[in-house]
A and B are shown apart, each in its own frame.
Chain A
Amino acid sequence: MITAAGLSKRYGAKTAVDGLDFTVHPGRVTGFLGPNGAGKSTTMRMIVGLDRPSAGSVTVNGKPYAHHRAPLHEVGALLDAKAVHTGRTAENHLRAMAATHGIGERRVREVIELTGLESVARKRVGGFSLGMGQRLGIAAALLGDPATLILDEPVNGLDPEGVLWVRRLVRSLAAEGRTIFLSSHLMSEMAQTADHLIVLGKGRIITDAPVADVIAGNTGTRVRVRSPHASQLADLLAGPDVSVMRSEAGLLEITGVEASGIGDLAAEHSLAIHELTTLNASLEEAYMALTADAVEYRTEALR
């Protein structure tokens, strides 16, 4: 259980995290979404006491992280796959981390096997690929068999097999009653992994709801229309609540009107239609809709 109350972080004049109130519950996977620069990593660093909040507080299982007698048994954190000395072997890194809490050699071997690092455990981390670095970071997070796991972009750099492995791992850890707090940029991945979502934009919470509710609540239904009279049809459909997007010649994506309405209108004006499809909303779209106003670094759409 992670509880934030009025959690804020300012760097000079810039507010990175602005008064967050949220609770991450045990027994489920909570996804943490947001555009780059939204404050996800800063929030996660504050949970484990690496960054000091400018205001507000955050507790893990009722206490600030640093007040626990055995922090690594409370929270396992993968905050940055590169939080390892490149000159040390993976095994020695894990041994050193384990030693602080008196965690034995057996557990070190266990997490090495669990994360599939056996063949590289005696190699220096400097030569690791991004994917191996992620596995080592997850191994370190699991060392203390913690009740709460915080994973910042855990599938970053993993191959498809690794992505699947992380998904199964976090699902099974959540099923054991652990608290899982997971950030990712891959919305499709989040849709398959998370039960609950906290969406952040410009340092504030935009949404804190179950995944299904986020998808249902934040997307208007879109209709795809293919017609040789596309531009004529677009003019006819134009209205205050209707948005029409032309992606290629003869193809329209329309929001704000049902498929039936478009078909009727076309028939009324005797315009031929070659395709009329209602598109189902995805988490990706829900996310884009939610964060449209909160994107820090926007790429202009290609025309």
Chain B
Amino acid sequence: MTTITPEISQFQPTRTTSLTFTGVLRSEWIKLRSLRSTAWSYALVVTISIGMALIMSLAMASGLEGGPDIAGAPVDQQAQFVVDASVFGVYFGQLVAGVLGVLVISGEYTTGMIRSTLAAVPTRRPALAAKAAVLFVATFVVGAIATFGAFLVSSLVFAGIDVSANLAEPGVILPILGAALYLAIVAVFALGVGAMLRSSAGGIAAVLGLILLAPTVLQMIPADWAHDLLPYMFSIAGMGIFTSTTAGPTADAFGVWLNLVIVLGWVAASVTGAAALLTRRDA
């Protein structure tokens, strides 16, 4: 059989733009802010953080339930109470950040969007990296708004009993920023888990299970190894970033920086696992 090739010159593309990482970052930013689940999640993080700070600081300032005598405590310890009340909401906010992190990628798998994403970025890893970067920055900014807002509310309440904390003090500003950082880290860790499991339900169950359940289970196991393992758990080390009172490791605590290293190890495992599977699997 003969093949007839019409005498038409091949189409020459006139476009001059090309695929860049900056472009992929912009694309992921458009994607993140154009979903209602993002707005809801972030609004919830801020609301929980400020609401919890209000409840906690009111309870602490009124000395209810046999709490510590804050106004009578030494001045250098008073600031710690304000900080504790300010970061309390993160215990709940981390669950929201985890759910959001999973949804950012599992939503693409369940709707089929991932095929559009990977057709536009066929090398794949830049798409995951851009997602992680955008999610990290956005969650950190929202987390900072949440924790600074919580600090403001707590400070107002504690001012009623003449207790105050100075944001310029490293012991105050670092936990406030550390709590926001932890929220951003949870989101990126959850993104990796969601990318590996490719399912909203599975990803959320895995992330919440690890944050909430794993430490509880370890505490119930009556063995030394379980006790030794506990501080290495994602959420235990993660909350150590902003609740640890020492910068360096001591006999009974890892300290801020070692906790941060442990948590970043979890994130590295999650994200590299996701990257490896993303390039190997069919979309």
Contacts and interface: CB of A to CB of B under 8 A. Distances in A.
Given A80-B115, A100-B24, A87 B121 contact: no
B17 A1 contact: no
By CB atoms of chain A within 10 A, which of B6, B10, B108 has the most? B10
Contact of B111 (A1, A45, A84): A84
A176 B283 CA distance: 32
A73 B18 CA distance: 8
B108 A85 contact: yes
Given A25-B5, A66-B123, A70-B19, A88 B31 contact: yes
Closest CB pairs A-B (n = 4):
A27-B8, A66-B122, A70-B18, A177-B11
Interface in A59-99: 65-66, 69-74, 77, 79-80, 82-89, 92-93, 95-99
B27 interface: yes
A86 B19 contact: no
27 contacts: A26-B11, A27-B6, A45-B283, A49-B119, A66-B122, A71-B121, A73-B13, A79-B119, A80-B115, A83-B115, A85-B107, A85-B111, A85-B113, A86-B111, A95-B34, A96-B27, A100-B23, A101-B23, A102-B20, A103-B15, A144-B15, A147-B12, A147-B13, A177-B10, A196-B3, A210-B1, A213-B1
Contacts of B169: none
Given A85-B107, A99-B27, A69 B18 contact: yes
B23 A102 contact: yes
By CB atoms of chain A within 10 A, which of B12, B116, B118 has the most? B116
B23 A176 contact: no
B119 A99 contact: no
A98 B2 CA distance: 40
Contacts of B3: 25, 196, 209-210
Contacts of A52: 282
Interface residues of B, number: 46
Nearest to A51: B282
Given A83-B115, A92-B34, A103-B17, A50 B1 contact: no
Contacts of A48: 119, 122
Interface string B241-283: 0000000000000000000000000000000000000000011
Interface string B199-224: 00000000000000000000000000
B35 A88 contact: yes
A277 B12 CA distance: 50
A196 to B, nearest CB: 8
Contact of A97 (B2, B14, B116, B282): B116
Contacts of A209: 1, 3
B34 A89 contact: yes
A217 B2 CA distance: 13
A140 B8 contact: no
A26 B34 contact: no
A82 B10 CA distance: 31
Interface string B17-51: 11110111011101100111100000000000000
A70 B24 CA distance: 12
Nearest to A148: B11
B120 interface: yes
A178 interface: yes
A71 B120 contact: yes
B168 interface: no
A81 B71 CA distance: 64
A210 B35 CA distance: 46
Contact of B120 (A88, A97, A147, A176): A97
Given A50-B118, A140-B116, A176 B30 contact: no
Contact of B6 (A28, A50, A83): A28
Contact of B15 (A73, A88, A213): A73
Contacts of A85: 31, 35, 107-108, 111, 113
Contact of A27 (B10, B115, B120): B10
Given A71-B19, A96-B30, A99-B26, A84 B113 contact: yes
A50 B115 contact: yes
B283 A102 contact: no
A164 to B, nearest CB: 23
A27 B27 CA distance: 32
B116 A177 contact: no
A89 B108 CA distance: 14
Interface in B106-146: 107-108, 111-116, 118-123
A1 B10 contact: yes
A185 B26 CA distance: 38
A99 B125 CA distance: 17
B19 A79 contact: no
A272 interface: no
B4 interface: yes
A145 B15 CA distance: 7
A209 to B, nearest CB: 5
A175 interface: yes
A146 interface: yes
Nearest to B38: A87
A83 B120 CA distance: 12
